[in-house]
Amino acid sequence: MRGFHHKVCAAVSAVLIALLSACGGGGGGGEGSGGGTPAPAGGIHLQVVSFGDSLSDVGTFAPIASAVGGGRFTTNPGQVWTQDVAQYYGDTLSAAFTIDITHKLSAQGGLGYAEGGATVATPANLYDFLTDVIGNVEMPVNQQVSSYLGTHGSFNAGQLVLVWAGANDVLRAGALPAAAPIVQTAATTLAQIVAQIVQNGATHVVLVNVPNIGLSPKGINSSDGGANLTQLSQLFNNSLNAALQANGVQGKVIQIDSYTWENQIIANFGANGFVVSNTAAACDPAKTPDDTALLCSPPTYVTSNADQTYIFADDLHPTTRLHALFAQFVEQQIAKSGLGQ
């Protein structure tokens, strides 16, 4: 932790002017965005809006993380799934807010509101190893949506709204049985937030459930082999489904089952183009500052093509390839819903 702090602080000091310039840049285009807008899938063009946590963050912390080659919670400079989906529909997703060297978020005008460390609705509490560099600044998802509505007023039929949250609530809930009400409250709150999005004009809402966090390297390396995290992931998803049904929103959203999808990817990792399953990470812990994907880049990969051969970047976050495969899965589910057909 201290080595990371000193390294980043030194890097920030050395490139202070560059970082100040970067703070105004939005930081969300990412690898592969290119100079022009790609032809949208099936001729349908949608503006993408994204809410959530590090699994969807397109560059909130990039102005600081870029000092050591990072920027997103994956195998940088690779894109995360929200960027891939946006490109598929002819859009480019950039960060709504980025952090500056004073540990404050500044608005950038992008529609990528997802921020690493965010929960559904509880106060900011990014993992402790980053607080000395980043601070507790991230907005929970309810604030992300409120921020969007405060700026833009409403959603519209020309938008695709992506929502993926709850993983941090599961990770911070502790052990069962005490963790159960925490997770259930987060799930029912997320359903209420989704209802708010629909009520404010969104007609194409993609809602992703929580993946099987027990199958992450963090899970399988825990004392119970991930059993608690798996049970809490299931509890969150079951509670979310029940709440969506109760508030009448389930038929108005496109639900994506990342839990089952992840299970299948891991069970058939070789057939999906991976060499290493969920047993190791693409980012070398000995080389990657503080062992976090946010600060992972090609020089810190365990092998030069680890972003394509490993499932996980660090102990929780997907590699570039896994993000790309998930984006394709989401695009297929959107097509099945009838959008673009």
Short-list 74, 71, 75, CA closest to 22: 71
Task: Give residue-wise pLDDT tens across range 16-25.
Answer: 323 333 333 3
**Residue ranges per structural domain of the chain:** 2-33+42-336
Among 93-107, 126-140, 193-207, name the most confident range: 193-207
Residue 1: which pLDDT band, with cuts at 50, 70 and 90?
very low
- Calculate mean pLDDT across residues 224-231: 98
Whether 137 and 99 have beta carbons less than 8 Å apart is answered as: yes
The answer to whether residues 119 and 186 touch, using CB atoms and an 8 Å cutoff, is yes
pLDDT of residue 131: 59
Q: Cβ neighbours of residue 240 under 8 Å, at least 6 residues apart?
A: 166, 187, 188, 190, 191, 209, 210
* For the chain, percent of residues with pLDDT exceeding 70: 83
Average pLDDT over residues 236-250: 97
Q: Determine the average pLDDT of the residues in 1-18.
A: 36
d(CA 151, CA 202): 15
Q: What is the pLDDT of residues 247-268, one digit of tens each?
A: 999 999 999 999 999 999 999 9
CATH 3.40.50.1860 fits 2-33+42-336, yes or no: no
Q: What pLDDT score was predicted for residue 104?
A: 81
Please report the DSSP string for 239-276 in residue order. Answer: HHHHHHHHTT-GGGSEEE-HHHHHHHHHHTTTTTT-SE
pLDDT at 15 (0 to 100):
32
pTM: 0.88
Residue 123 has pLDDT above 90, yes or no: no
